[in-house]
Structure 1
């Protein structure tokens, strides 16, 4: 399996190469040259497998040439052995049609653990082979940072510089990052900045030759293909429990950066019968406008009670535009350059029609979100977080035939957002015992201006150069 850039000019890489590279050298994102596809019978045979074994089976085509089937099984067993639920991503029924897929049973209580626990092991595996150091520079609107930090804290050869917009993540999200005191972890709070500002700084660093010549810059955001690949697995896990491949299943996905829902698109390309992927946004609705009207135009970020979705530039949407638009990297590079210059773009007819074959979308404001949280509690006895509530609102408004199960991805534990949950439901969800002392731990964070120059200078002063220096 090799991987090509969505912008057509970067060299193709194998799986190990794209895992360590993150963003392509031409500014694009890596995708497989072709989609592997399972037969109906192969998917049928996946039913009943433990999650770690299912993960190894689903991901094996993507890692071919870089990891043996046996080694991949060892890594998935280790990654998913840390989850608090034996099923890893259990399903919960809400009513006759609606289900929750609980993705928050990992160590940092968010769906990103499912991918990042594995990604940390992959980094260690490939860095040990190469003798390189890796400088991870990431941006987070809340959950990516804590999950990535937990996954790589203390690992050899890896330094992590995680940027978050100061004051725009929840107290739990912040503390899950800043209370990790491992020497290879550097938390940076950007003053007067949004997640989009942080993400732009990360992308600029990948394109800065003065940085990339000195440091091997890598990514843990969903621009990293390996992270997105691991998220494909839970679509298979949920659909198999609900009757796949013998009947299609729909998924409603609260998303800002489009990575989580693009993993569902990948599952569909691999043969999983998905009836519909519902893209659920909050008032920062660039994805809803793009899918419903072809208008991919960025506005100002509006802070909400669902901070992980407070995004106006959805990086992974480029992967979909590439795939449904004919896989013409040079044309897409021009289209994206126009967007980066003007912050506005119209989807082509081919892109709109290709997306509409599988995707629909819905927008939820604060009132919709609160009503969904109340409904989940009053009618189904489930306490859900604001992001999951946005997905549930979209699921219940989907209009899909009643025989089609609709699975809402429950992306975070409600205890990560206690104030918003209590306002909506009257319930104050406690932190699970395994993180219950979070508010008693020491914090360590560096405040920086929200400028590229300030961040680049800090990284240059603290990172290990590429090569073998600093490794033990």
Structure 2
């Protein structure tokens, strides 16, 4: 399997090279040169597999340059850290299926990919006798999941940028209370989009990237998306067993387009998905795009679901590549236009194609809180505010022809303020959060300035 850049000037990479490059050297995002297809017999066989076995079957089709025994060991070790034996169990509540993605070390769906990516980085660095400095930006969950994926690992330092005062208190503590010497937390005076722009600009300086051996853990790294493809197949298998339905719907809360793009890849592989429902909060660039062809930057608004408080979806370029039929020249022009004007325009034919793939809904703050409360009163099941947007969207847009799986992207205890407002009760904390406020913290507050971040990184890089 070879990999290419959406912008057409990097190609012929192996999986190992794609993982280590992160963002393509031409500024694009890396994709496999072809998407392997799964036939109906394979799909039925996979539906009976345990999660690590299924992950091996899927990831091995893309990571063809890693020996099978090594890949299996990486996968098994990655999911041994999860507290549930099924890794990502599916539960049935009030007519919807909920795919619980929060049983990893940081109680968020990002663990599914970043436990694997942390082990993969360590494996590749040891193989090559190299070192890496990881830099990433987070709107809340990616940062802690990335930190927990590489904390204490050899030959890796990690630098995580988060928007100061704009993540939940628990999300912040999950990052800042990790004091391993290879972990550096930077709270920037700005938004997540500012942090993401800084990271992309730093990766765009190829000489700096190579001099300091930079690596990416944001979903700009293809391995992140690939690991997330697995749980779509896993959920299908569990719901298919329960209902005998061949097709199902997925409702996905997303701000960065990475999680739902993994579902799009699963569908291209042959997973029988009827609807991919995208749930946005009030930062709704993605739902505006799907419903009206309006992909234009607005002002970032604070919401109860801060991990989705994003106006520049970093994975959107991957989908745009497919929407433009793999025309890298047209994509380069589109991204130049977007960087200049803050918006993109689409033809009626393109919008029709988009709406054949996705349905979308904007869920406002009031609806999010109301959904948490209503769902709890009906089912005694607590949703976190991100998952609540997906449940609300599923209720409004689900076709009813097939079962709908809502992705539960975080544990409700990470967003206790929203849960208290919605239900009047305190969510029960898992053991991993016990006493977190009393732990030692380490974090530096800095300006959202690329030069400042580069100087900080250069001084502390290994």
Using the TM superposition, name which of 348-357 and 312-321 deviates more: 348-357
Distance 1:155-1:348 versus aligned 2 partners, 3 A rule: farther
2:64 corresponds to which residue? 64
Distance in 2 between residues matched to 1:88 and 1:94, nearest whole Å: 19
Distance in 2 between residues matched to 1:246 and 1:368, nearest whole Å: 30
Distance 1:257-1:224 versus aligned 2 partners, 3 A rule: same
How many residue pairs get matched?
460
Contact kept, 8 Å, 2:229 with 2:263, in 1: the verdict is yes
Distance in 2 between residues matched to 1:328 and 1:375, nearest whole Å: 46
Contact kept, 8 Å, 2:25 with 2:206, in 1: the verdict is no
CA-to-partner distance for each residue in 1:90-140, whole Å, 9 max, x for gaps? 1111123x1111100000000000000000011011111111111111000
Determine helix, strand or coil for the equivalent of 2:158.
Answer: strand
Q: Once the 2 structures are TM-superposed, how far is the Cα of residue 430 of structure 1 from its aligned partner?
A: 2.3
- 1:52 and 2:52 are equivalent in the alignment: yes
1:80 corresponds to which residue? 79
- 1:233 and 2:230 are equivalent in the alignment: yes
Q: Once the 2 structures are TM-superposed, how far is the Cα of residue 349 of structure 1 from its aligned partner?
A: 4.4
2:8 corresponds to which residue? 8
Q: Once the 2 structures are TM-superposed, how far is the Cα of residue 246 of structure 1 from its aligned partner?
A: 5.3
- 1:94 and 2:93 are equivalent in the alignment: yes
- Equivalences for residues 338-349 of structure 1 within 5 A: 338-349=337-348
Using the TM superposition, name which of 427-436 and 296-305 deviates more: 427-436
Q: Once the 2 structures are TM-superposed, how far is the Cα of residue 346 of structure 1 from its aligned partner?
A: 1.0
Contact kept, 8 Å, 2:324 with 2:330, in 1: the verdict is no
Distance in 1 between residues matched to 2:40 and 2:139, nearest whole Å: 38
Contact kept, 8 Å, 2:2 with 2:11, in 1: the verdict is no
Contact kept, 8 Å, 2:277 with 2:359, in 1: the verdict is yes
Distance in 1 between residues matched to 2:246 and 2:287, nearest whole Å: 27
1:398 corresponds to which residue? 397
1:470 corresponds to which residue? none
Contact kept, 8 Å, 1:179 with 1:442, in 2: the verdict is yes
2:35 corresponds to which residue? 35
Q: Once the 2 structures are TM-superposed, how far is the Cα of residue 410 of structure 1 from its aligned partner?
A: 0.4
2:260 corresponds to which residue? 261
- 1:279 and 2:278 are equivalent in the alignment: yes
- Equivalences for residues 199-214 of structure 1 within 5 A: 199-214=196-211
Distance 1:399-1:226 versus aligned 2 partners, 3 A rule: closer
Contact kept, 8 Å, 1:290 with 1:347, in 2: the verdict is no
Contact kept, 8 Å, 1:139 with 1:221, in 2: the verdict is yes
Distance in 2 between residues matched to 1:381 and 1:356, nearest whole Å: 35
1:195 corresponds to which residue? 192
Distance in 2 between residues matched to 1:23 and 1:151, nearest whole Å: 19
Distance 1:270-1:70 versus aligned 2 partners, 3 A rule: same
Q: Once the 2 structures are TM-superposed, how far is the Cα of residue 210 of structure 1 from its aligned partner?
A: 4.5
2:385 corresponds to which residue? 386
Contact kept, 8 Å, 2:245 with 2:402, in 1: the verdict is no
Q: Once the 2 structures are TM-superposed, how far is the Cα of residue 298 of structure 1 from its aligned partner?
A: 0.4
- Equivalences for residues 301-316 of structure 1 within 5 A: 301-316=300-315
Contact kept, 8 Å, 2:136 with 2:159, in 1: the verdict is yes
Distance in 2 between residues matched to 1:93 and 1:26, nearest whole Å: 45
Determine helix, strand or coil for the equivalent of 1:429.
Answer: coil
Q: Once the 2 structures are TM-superposed, how far is the Cα of residue 426 of structure 1 from its aligned partner?
A: 1.4
- Equivalences for residues 366-381 of structure 1 within 5 A: 366-381=365-380
- Structure 1 stretches of 4+ with a deviation exceeding 6 A read none
1:323 corresponds to which residue? 322
1:141 corresponds to which residue? 139
Distance 1:289-1:249 versus aligned 2 partners, 3 A rule: same
Distance in 2 between residues matched to 1:395 and 1:24, nearest whole Å: 35
Query: What TM-score results when the alignment is normalised by the length of structure 2?
Result: 0.97
Contact kept, 8 Å, 1:321 with 1:351, in 2: the verdict is no
Query: What TM-score results when the alignment is normalised by the length of structure 1?
Result: 0.95
Determine helix, strand or coil for the equivalent of 1:417.
Answer: helix
Contact kept, 8 Å, 2:283 with 2:311, in 1: the verdict is yes
Using the TM superposition, name which of 51-60 and 202-211 deviates more: 202-211
Gaps of 5+ in 1: 465-472
Contact kept, 8 Å, 2:296 with 2:344, in 1: the verdict is yes
Q: Once the 2 structures are TM-superposed, how far is the Cα of residue 350 of structure 1 from its aligned partner?
A: 5.0
Using the TM superposition, name which of 333-342 and 426-435 deviates more: 426-435
Determine helix, strand or coil for the equivalent of 1:223.
Answer: coil
Distance in 2 between residues matched to 1:105 and 1:213, nearest whole Å: 35
Using the TM superposition, name which of 166-175 and 344-353 deviates more: 344-353
Q: Once the 2 structures are TM-superposed, how far is the Cα of residue 396 of structure 1 from its aligned partner?
A: 0.6
Using the TM superposition, name which of 368-377 and 343-352 deviates more: 343-352
CA-to-partner distance for each residue in 1:148-194, whole Å, 9 max, x for gaps? 00010111111111000000011110111111111111100001x00
Q: 2:408 aligns with which of 407, 410, 425?
A: 410
Distance in 2 between residues matched to 1:430 and 1:441, nearest whole Å: 19
Contact kept, 8 Å, 2:47 with 2:233, in 1: the verdict is no
Aligned-residue Cα RMSD (Å) equals 1.2
Determine helix, strand or coil for the equivalent of 1:135.
Answer: strand
Distance in 2 between residues matched to 1:132 and 1:412, nearest whole Å: 34
Q: Once the 2 structures are TM-superposed, how far is the Cα of residue 399 of structure 1 from its aligned partner?
A: 4.0
